[in-house]
Amino acid sequence: MTATVRRLLGRLVGTAFGRAVLACLALAGWALWSGGLFDGPAARQVRASSVYAAPGVDLDRAAAERVIGNRRLVVLMMRPGADLPGACDDTERATQGTLVLAMSRDGDDWDTYGCSRLGGDSPRDIGRSMVVETVIGQGADAFVDRPVEALKVIVLNYDKLVRTGLVPDGGRTISPSLPRYLLAGGAVGGVVAGAAVLWWGGRRAGRLADARRAGRDARADERAALGAATAVLAQQIIDLDATGGKAGRRLAADYVGLLDEVSGADPGDVGRLRERVEELSRRAADLVADAAAGPDAGGTSGRGARGRAARGTGGASGRESGGGSGGKPYTPPRQGAGGTAGKGRARTRGRGRR
């Protein structure tokens, strides 16, 4: 078990996150200790107050607070027979920079014990502290049954000490301990850093989302363009079915194979398939053009060849016959006379029959 714990601690300390966690735990412990986690009830009370009344002591705390005000004076009202020096020592860290007076009822008098924390450790400061601790509780014995009135006497003694210069003038300042400032600063810094990270992360996520959306739109456009080109190719192949031909059937077979590739194509294959569709479309266009131009070109060439052949044969026979009879060139007969005679005979025969 010990080895496991050591291994876990080693892993925790060996990382930046683990060291940060340990630092935060140390800071939190420091803040709790300096904030009075282990203090007694009197010390916890006088950290933010000027009066402490032990359980069983009849004291109007609100009135006592108003009497003392914000002076550098702390009064501890303890039970009869309580350890007054011990009470002063327990509140040492909570009452720095103040004059503390611990008092308890002892019959018809007040038992008082003063502890000054206004000066340093020099002989002069120690002498002043002894005078202050002796003078601060004088005259309070006249008001044993009225603690608030006794506090008024103590306040008067404090003001006299201020006027004589033995006690520094000014109000008491209650400030949080340094770890609390550090924790507050860390909390503010954490919030600001977290907000900055969220803002930066949001912008980055937005850019990535926009890039993905643009990519999806571009792929969708490429798919749509590929589908449109495939539809155009299909229409061209349908137009070729009327003419038939081996080339058209081969093109249709290539188109069927292309459809299989298009149906299971990856986004990276769209460009290649688009080029393939354009190639088949050019082939289909060429076949349509050849089918449209083939019959006209063939008929025209046939008629020209037959005419040229007939004219060549007739000329050759005429020249040969003319040359053989008299050596003169052949002269075609006149069509006017023959035509006229024929027409006359036709008209004469017609009149005779009538």
Q: Identify whether the C-beta of residue 288 lies closer than 8 Å to the C-beta of residue 248.
A: no
Report the predicted TM-score, pTM, of the whole model to 2 decimal places. Answer: 0.51
Most confident of 141-145, 155-159, 176-180, 281-285: 155-159
Is residue 149 pLDDT above 90, yes or no?
A: yes
- Comparing 40 with 100, the larger pLDDT belongs to 100
In the β-sheet with 73-78, what is the strand arrangement from edge to edge? Answer: 51-53, 73-78, 99-106, 109-116
Residue 66, pLDDT score: 92
Is residue 304 pLDDT above 50, yes or no?
A: no
Question: What confidence category does residue 287 fall into, taking pLDDT thresholds of 50, 70 and 90?
Answer: confident
Measured CA to CA, the distance from residue 296 to residue 318 in angstroms comes to 34
Question: What confidence category does residue 152 fall into, taking pLDDT thresholds of 50, 70 and 90?
Answer: very high
Is residue 67 pLDDT above 80, yes or no?
A: yes
Tokens at residue 153, please?
């006497």
DSSP 1-59: -HHHHHHHHHHHHTSHHHHHHHHHHHHHHHHHHHTTTT--HHHHHHTS-SEEE-TT---
Question: What confidence category does residue 241 fall into, taking pLDDT thresholds of 50, 70 and 90?
Answer: low
Is residue 332 pLDDT above 80, yes or no?
A: no
Share of the chain above pLDDT 70, in %: 78
Is residue 250 pLDDT above 70, yes or no?
A: yes
Taking each helix axis from N to C end, the angle separating 270-325 and 178-240, rounded to the nearest 10 degrees, works out to 20
Task: Give residue for tokens 């007076």.
Answer: 101
Is residue 345 pLDDT above 60, yes or no?
A: no
Average pLDDT over residues 63-70: 91
Q: Identify whether the C-beta of residue 154 lies closer than 8 Å to the C-beta of residue 101.
A: yes
Residue 103, pLDDT score: 92
Residues with Cβ < 8 Å from 278, sequence gap 6 or more?
229
Helix (H) or strand (E) holding 74, with range, is: strand 73-78
Question: What confidence category does residue 312 fall into, taking pLDDT thresholds of 50, 70 and 90?
Answer: very low
Residues with Cβ < 8 Å from 330, sequence gap 6 or more?
318, 319, 321, 322
Helix (H) or strand (E) holding 110, with range, is: strand 109-116
Average pLDDT over residues 164-184: 80
Cα dihedral 49→53→58→63 (10° resolution): -10
Q: Identify whether the C-beta of residue 277 lies closer than 8 Å to the C-beta of residue 255.
A: no
Residue 113, pLDDT score: 92
Most confident of 196-200, 322-326, 336-340: 196-200
| Integer CA distances (angstroms), 39 to 7, 46, 77, 174, 280, in order | 36, 11, 17, 17, 91
Measured CA to CA, the distance from residue 354 to residue 349 in angstroms comes to 9
- Comparing 3 with 230, the larger pLDDT belongs to 230
Question: What confidence category does residue 243 fall into, taking pLDDT thresholds of 50, 70 and 90?
Answer: low
Q: Identify whether the C-beta of residue 72 lies closer than 8 Å to the C-beta of residue 50.
A: no
Average pLDDT over residues 279-287: 82
Tokens at residue 265, please?
């194509």
Residue 309, pLDDT score: 37
- In whole numbers, what is the pLDDT of the chain averaged over residues? 76
- Comparing 24 with 149, the larger pLDDT belongs to 149
For 39-171, which CATH class? Answer: alpha beta
Q: Tens digits of per-residue pLDDT, 107-139? A: 888 999 999 888 777 888 888 888 998 899 899
CA angle, corner 29, sides to 51 and 24, nearest 5?
135
End-to-end C-alpha distance for the chain, whole angstroms: 149
Helix (H) or strand (E) holding 99, with range, is: strand 99-106
Can you give the residue ranges of every domain in the chain?
1-35, 39-171, 181-293
Average pLDDT over residues 60-76: 91
Q: What is the CA radius of gyration of the chain?
A: 61
Average pLDDT over residues 317-343: 40
Is residue 42 pLDDT above 60, yes or no?
A: yes
Is residue 297 pLDDT above 50, yes or no?
A: no
Average pLDDT over residues 322-350: 40
